[in-house]
Structure 1
Amino acid sequence: MNIVGKGIAKIDGMSIATGKPVYTDDLAAKEALVVKILRSPHPYAIIEEIDTKRALMVPGVECILTYKDVPNNRFTLAGQSYPEPSPYDRLILDKTVRYVGDEVAIIAAIDEKTALKAMKMIKVKYNVLTPVIDMEEAIDNESIIHTEDVHCNFDIGMERERNIVSKHLYEKGNVEEELSKCDVVVEDTYYTQAQSHGMMETYRAYNYLDHAGRLVVVSSTQIPFHVRRHLSRALDIPSSKIRVIKPRIGGGFGGKQTACVEIFTALVTLKTGKPAKIIYDRKETFTCTTSRHAMKLNVKVGA
């Protein structure tokens, strides 16, 4: 009972108040390559041609990676446990892009200006398809979001051909009989909006190889062990060869329970042997990461 009901000083309270903690970008080496992502302007398309020759000639460009240059291992960033309940439905870079902002190419250069200059020189030819952008029109739509087979660790009720990722039916008792006994029955349909977290520090990661050749990932994340698992599968390397360091993070609120940036810098470091970092701007943070989905809820209650 020495501490119950009493004020306890926060261990790192004074250092936080005086601005001493360091964050991901504070730990990045000055010579780290800067990583930028070329993104799709289309909500649904297939990449027919991608030309990086001129971009690679820009002085200071270290590497440019497309879907032809990355591991072909499907993985998921959803799910906090293992085995993950969500389907392994994504690649690091895919020939098919499925939303405006989807990743098309990874550019690594000596600085941001050089990376952005090279990005503008990449030429991409798309076969634009009809997108599915409304959840109420998605089921049994002619456009199938994933035409390829995707792996699930166990049955989640997925019907890929109908654009249904998961379904579950749970009933207990005779609902209609109970409702018939009620004096008042209220039934309506409710909608929620998609939600994105507004943390001050956007998504970012910094990678390097240590003296033993192990991939070290410094990330503004809330889930270091899950990040390691995701990287291991996506990059096809043992988790024992990956170390994830989580420094102080500039806000998360659950929004950093994902690994939306670490794979890109990790891939650059593995390809070049050099340190690399990526920092999402605010637009990327809102549009190119995972968020809470919008929902449609049909509710019927009785009293």
Structure 2
Amino acid sequence: MGLKTVGQRVPRVDGLTKAVGQAVYAGDMEMPGMLYGKALRSAYAHAKILSIDTSSAEKIPGVHVVLTAKDIPGINKFGLAILDQPVLAADKVRMRGDAIALVAAESGDIAEEALQAIKVSYEELPGIYTIEAGLADNAPLIHEEMGTNLLQHTKVRKGNIQEGFARADVVVENTYYTQRAEHAYLEPETSLATIDVSGNVTIWTSTQYVFRDRRQIAPVLGIPTNRVRVIQAATGGAFGGKDDITTEIQAGLLALKTKRPVRVTWSRAESMVCSTKRHPMKIWCKTGATKDGRLVALEGTVYSDKGAYCSIGHFITKKAGLHLSGPYHIPHISVDTFAVYTNNTVSGPFRGFGILQSALAHESQMDMLAERLGMSPWEIRMLNALRPGLSNATGQVFDSSVGIYDTLVKAKEYLDRQGGAEE
């Protein structure tokens, strides 16, 4: 039976409106009486907040409201997996860019003027900027209630690692470092919030997951979830960076307080400071193979720089460990992962969810093993590629949809036709 969609050239549903400039993004939306919202951001990565004086800002003509943590009607916490991030910092800031106050005004310029008029007194605290510093004895605690900067430690165990390395004729051991990366989507984070006569809140936003947003917005606004509606506007790029709450709660709070539509748009500089990044990781790998190129053992540790808050970074760190063996069959595996809080910008979802960091490590290991064994990089990969009937790092055996070997074959055939695949 013929397929109408799979394998066919299908027009992208939203392609035409975007190509001709008719797509409506949240930043394009305006409503009668709309106000402009902005947030005051911390200039420090780690500091106690001693006082906040908003009196001068409140007197500026055109300013409708100035909010601090004490004005939040519900809980002052949000987070994709763990409620560890304040909407507005109350007692201390944990990263540069933490929001401290919100302003709604008749124009963006007036809102910016009001931010400059807010006076915050800080007591700067020692900062944690590396994984090693976060795990050091007597390190300053970023979340005091946890008693540690280690968010999560997970383990992957398969076979017997000592037995595996006893069978190895060659062993390659290295440490790899990956950097923090910005999503840099074309459209910055934007939300437009309104409130109706019954107190229901509607938020149009540049997001990836409206129901997860709704679940985090309602408790902060102090209203039932069924009184919050989140609508995804046309979204100009995300790549994981708009999985987390960005402007939604800020716009919702300001609309709730002013009873007016409020639009909040982060500047590019604000987005760079505040939005989630790809996790920097430190990965140690020790890989063993027999003289004929068969992988027999992998031992490794993965440390991620979580930044100040979790997002879903503990899952991403765990996933990096699960995929440290790559698309290859290795009978003996021992991998530990550690997600570490620091005072850096929060790390969160980014296309690939930790697997790209692991790929740097396991593919580099494969190239070095091939060189040590006098094999081609193609040969060692094809020899060890997962196939139906072989188990992955967790011991799971797939009987179908294991395409790495066929992909390698097709890639090599293509490169050969283009002039030869490098041996």
Task: Identify the residue that residue 18 of structure 1 maps to in structure 2.
Answer: 20
Bigger proportion of residues as helix? 2
Which residue number corresponds to residue 112 of structure 1? Answer: 108
What does 1:218-297 align with in structure 2 at a 5 Å threshold?
218-297=204-283
Deviation sequence 1:17-76 (CA, Å, 0-9, x none): 222111112223253111111111111111111111111110000111112222462544
Shift of 1:293: 1.7
1:132 offset after TM fit, Å? 1.1
The answer to whether 1:65 aligns with 2:67 is yes
Contact 1:40/1:100, CA 8 A, preserved across alignment: yes
Residue 91 of structure 1 and its aligned partner are, at CA, apart by: 1.9
Quick check: which has more Rg, 1 or 2?
Answer: 2
> Counterparts in 2 of 1:94-243, with a 5 A limit?
94=89, 95-139=91-135, 140-147=137-144, 149=145, 160-243=146-229
Which segment is superposed worse, 169-178 or 265-274? 169-178
Counterpart secondary structure, 1:206: strand
Contact 1:72 1:91 in 2 (8 A): no
In structure 1, the partner of 2:83 is 88
Report the AA paired with residue 212 of structure 1.
S
Selected match of 1:34 from 20, 36, 49: 36
Query: Does 1 or 2 have the higher relative contact order (CA < 8 Å, sep 6+)?
Result: 1
Relative to structure 1, the CA distance from residue 6 to residue 184 in structure 2 (aligned partners, 3 Å threshold; closer, same or farther) is same
Cα distance between partner residues in 2 of 1:288 and 1:175 = 41
Checking the alignment, whether the CA contact within 8 Å between 1:141 and 1:162 is kept in structure 2 is no
Equivalent of residue 9 in structure 2, options 4, 7, 10: 7
Farther off after superposition, 254-263 or 10-19: 10-19
CA distance in 1, matches of 2:74, 2:197: 28
SS in 1 for 2:254: helix
Looking at structure 1, the residues matched to 148 and 3 of structure 2 have their Cα atoms a distance apart, in angstroms, of: 60
Percent identical residues: 36
- Is the 2:172–2:287 Cα contact (8 Å) retained in structure 1? yes
**2:219 is paired with a residue of what secondary structure?**
helix
Contact 1:71 1:92 in 2 (8 A): no
Aligned residues, how many?
285
Distance 1:260 1:12 in 2: 24
Normalising to structure 2: TM-score of the pair? 0.65
RMSD: 1.6
Within 2, Cα distance between the matches of 1:179 and 1:71?
Answer: 58
Matched AA of 1:93: L
Aligned partners of 1:279, 1:184: CA distance in 2, in Å?
55
2:74, 2:170 → 1: CA distance?
Answer: 56
1:272-302 Cα deviation digits (max 9, x unpaired): 1111011111111111122222111111111
Secondary structure of 1:212's match? coil
Hey, what's the Cα distance between the residues in 2 that align with 1:88 and 1:18? Answer: 41
Structure 2 unmatched ranges of 5 or more = 290-423
Mapped partners of 1:141, 1:190: distance in 2: 27
Change (3 A) 1:115 1:174: same
Match of 1:81 in 2: none
Alignment TM-score, normalising by the size of structure 1? 0.89
For 1:207, what is the secondary structure of its paired residue?
A: strand
Write the letter of the residue equivalent to 1:144. Answer: L
Q: 1:57 to 1:31 in 2, by over 3 A?
A: same
**CA deviation string 1:85-132 (max 9, x = no partner):** xx3212211221011111111111110111111111111111111111
Cα distance in structure 2, aligned partners of 1:294 and 1:117: 36
Q: Distance in 1 between the 2:12 and 2:280 partners?
A: 37
2:8 & 2:128 partners in 1: Cα distance? 55
Is the contact made by 1:260 and 1:290 (CA closer than 8 Å) also made in structure 2?
Answer: no
Alignment partner of 1:88: what SS?
A: coil
CA offset at residue 269 of structure 1? 0.8
